Structure 1
């Protein structure tokens, strides 16, 4: 699959590298072509360039920039993103003394902001719950269970594309409904990251029903 990556930071490199290793055709795009070139070379992407070039390249386009900048970026590229699966992996978090809190404004989620900024794009919320280091693993598996990747979207085509991208890196697609539910994924990220910062283990809070119902 052709994948355009908007951004040159940690998430861009980690997910872009996972997809490149899985055989996808990845192009890194950034405001700095020099940084885009360095990231592309490091992860084995097939190419690099500006943001517009990456957007036009991808059947799927990953938005891997800070959450506050993402809507403006998508709005500026709206014409190039029409009909493309646009994956939002951002978390709109603000640190406080009690842990991170969400900063999503009146739209409910950054994903909804992206959909409003690029009305022709097929926006998906995904890949926002795990630390960047998880995406550097090949076929992430924990306690013999492949990592589940929740995602939300309103578009069947985008759902199928996202499921393919998730499966191709050894993870399990976990559809969670339409884009209106993206706010729940962003809120879950705030909760989980807060638990990590407090020294807790989020996985311990979610035993499987099968474990709970054992005789």
Structure 2
């Protein structure tokens, strides 16, 4: 798969590295060509260039820039992104009230704002729940099970692409519905990261159905 990456930070580096290891053709695009070159060299990407270069390279394009600027970046590349799968891995969160809150107010999502900014693109929310270090693992698995990656979007072809991408990383795709549900995935990140920061383990709040109904 041809993948363009918009951004040169840790998520761009670790996800891009995972995709290079999985055999994908990755190009890193950034505002700073030197930073893009350094990131590309670090992960063994096929090339580097500007944000526009990243947008036009990929059948699938990862937006790995800060959540507060992601819609504006996408808007500036709307023509180049038209018809492409655009993956939003951002988390619009900030410390507040002793924990984390959504900077969007919880009534919309960054993914939705990106879709509105580039109406010709097919936006998919994915890869935002895990710390970037998880994507450095060759095939992430925990307690004997491959890592599940939640994602949501509206375009069937783009969802198929993201499913294939997740599978190529040795992870399990977890489809979560249409793009309207991206706000819930972003809220889940705020909840889970806030719990980790407080020293607790959010997964213990979610027993499996079999564990919850042992007599059924």
TM range (shorter): over 0.9
Distance 2:214 2:27 in 1: 48
CA distance in 2, matches of 1:105, 1:204: 26
Given that 2:106 and 2:183 are in contact with CA atoms closer than 8 Å, whether structure 1 keeps it comes out as no
- Partners of 2:95 and 2:145 lie apart in 1 by 32
**1:169 matched to 2:145:** no
Partner of 2:79: 79
Structure 1 residue 107: Cα displacement: 5.8
How many residues get paired?
Answer: 215
Tell me whether 1:30 sits opposite 2:64 in the alignment. no
Deviates more, 1:53-62 or 1:104-113: 104-113
User: CA separation in 2, counterparts of 1:96 and 1:190?
Assistant: 11
- 1:214, CA displacement in angstroms? 3.3
- Please report the TM-score for the alignment, with normalisation by the length of structure 1: 0.98
TM-score, structure 2 normalization: 0.97
SS in 1 for 2:99: coil
SS in 1 for 2:114: helix
Distance 1:207 1:105 in 2: 28
* Alpha carbons 1:107, 1:113 under 8 Å: kept: no
Q: In 1, distance between residues paired with 2:196 and 2:34?
A: 34
CA distance in 2, matches of 1:14, 1:50: 19
> Is contact 2:29-2:51 (8 Å) kept?
yes
RMSD of equivalent CA atoms: 1.1
Distance 1:105 1:186 in 2: 11
Contact 1:108-1:183 within 8 A present in 2 as well: yes
Structure 1 unaligned runs (5+)?
Answer: none
Q: Match of 2:5?
A: 5
2:117 equivalent in structure 1:
117
**Which residues of 2 match residues 27-106 of structure 1 at below 5 A?**
27-104=27-104
Residue 138 of structure 1 deviates from its aligned partner by 1.2
Q: Which runs of 5+ in 2 are unaligned?
A: none
2: CA distance between counterparts of 1:112 and 1:97?
26
Report the Cα offset of residue 96 of structure 1.
Answer: 1.6
In 1, are the aligned partners of 2:107 and 2:183 still within 8 Å (CA)?
no
